[in-house]
Chains A and B, each alone.
Chain A
Amino acid sequence: MELTPPPTLGAGDRAGFVSPNWVTTRLDDLVNWSRANSLWPMAFGTACCAIEFMATAASRFDLARFGMERVAYSPRQADVLICAGRLPFKLAPVIRRIWDQMPQPKWCISMGACASTGGIFDNYAMVQGIDTIVPVDVYVPGCPPRPEGLLYGIMLLQKKIKGESVFDPSLRVEQLADQRGMFLEPAAVDELSEPFGNSVHQTRSA
Chain B
Amino acid sequence: MSGAATPNASVATLRARFGAAIGRSAVVSGATIVHVARERAHDILAWLRDDPDERYDYLVDVTAVEYRDPERPLEVVYQLRSIPRNAFLRLKINLDRSGPLEVDSVVDLWQGANWLEREAWDMFGVRFVGHPDHRRILMWETYDEGHPLRKDFPLRGRFSRAEQVRRALGADLSAHYSMDELSIADAYASLPADLRVGPRHPAPGAETSRP
Flag whether A23 is at the interface (Cβ < 8 A): no
Q: Is the CB of A89 within 8 A of B168?
A: yes
Q: Provide the bound-state CA to CA distance between A39 and B170, in Å.
A: 31
Interface residue tally on B, bucketed by range: 20 to 34
Q: Is the CB of A122 within 8 A of B161?
A: no
Q: Provide the bound-state CA to CA distance between A143 and B65, in Å.
A: 32
Which residue on B lies nearest to A202, using beta carbons? B155
Which residue on B lies nearest to A182, using beta carbons? B166
How many whole Å from B122's CB to the nearest CB in chain A?
A: 11
Which applies to chain B's interface (DSSP): helix, strand, loop or mixed? loop
Flag whether A92 is at the interface (Cβ < 8 A): yes
Q: Provide the bound-state CA to CA distance between A206 and B154, in Å.
A: 9
Given contacts A90-B139, A181-B166, A186-B163, contact A124 B171 (CB under 8 A): no
Flag whether B115 is at the interface (Cβ < 8 A): no
From A61-69, A71-79, A125-133, A168-176, the one touching the partner chain is A125-133
| Contacting residues of chain A (85-142) with chain B, CB-CB under 8 angstroms | 89-90, 92-94, 96-97, 122-125, 127-128, 132-133
Flag whether A189 is at the interface (Cβ < 8 A): yes
Flag whether B187 is at the interface (Cβ < 8 A): no
Q: Is the CB of A193 within 8 A of B173?
A: no
Q: Is the CB of A92 within 8 A of B148?
A: no
| Contacting residues of chain B (143-169) with chain A, CB-CB under 8 angstroms | 145, 148, 153-169
Flag whether B188 is at the interface (Cβ < 8 A): no
Q: Is the CB of A92 within 8 A of B165?
A: yes
Which applies to chain A's interface (DSSP): helix, strand, loop or mixed? loop
How many whole Å from A143's CB to the nearest CB in chain B?
A: 20
Q: Provide the bound-state CA to CA distance between A203 and B154, in Å.
A: 9
Q: Is the CB of A190 within 8 A of B176?
A: no
The count of residues in chain A whose C-beta lies closer than 8 Å to any C-beta of chain B is 30
- From A90, A186, A187, A192, contact of B166 by CB (8 A): A186
Contact with A along B165-187 (1 / 0, CB 8 A): 11111110100100000000000
- From B153, B154, B169, contact of A133 by CB (8 A): B169
Give the chain A neighbours of B140 by CB distance below 8 A: 89-90
Give the chain A neighbours of B155 by CB distance below 8 A: 122-124, 202
Flag whether A14 is at the interface (Cβ < 8 A): no
Flag whether A177 is at the interface (Cβ < 8 A): yes
Known contacts A124-B155, A206-B160; 15 further A-B pairs (Cβ under 8 A): A89-B140, A90-B140, A123-B156, A124-B164, A125-B148, A133-B169, A182-B165, A183-B169, A186-B162, A187-B162, A190-B160, A190-B162, A204-B156, A205-B156, A206-B158
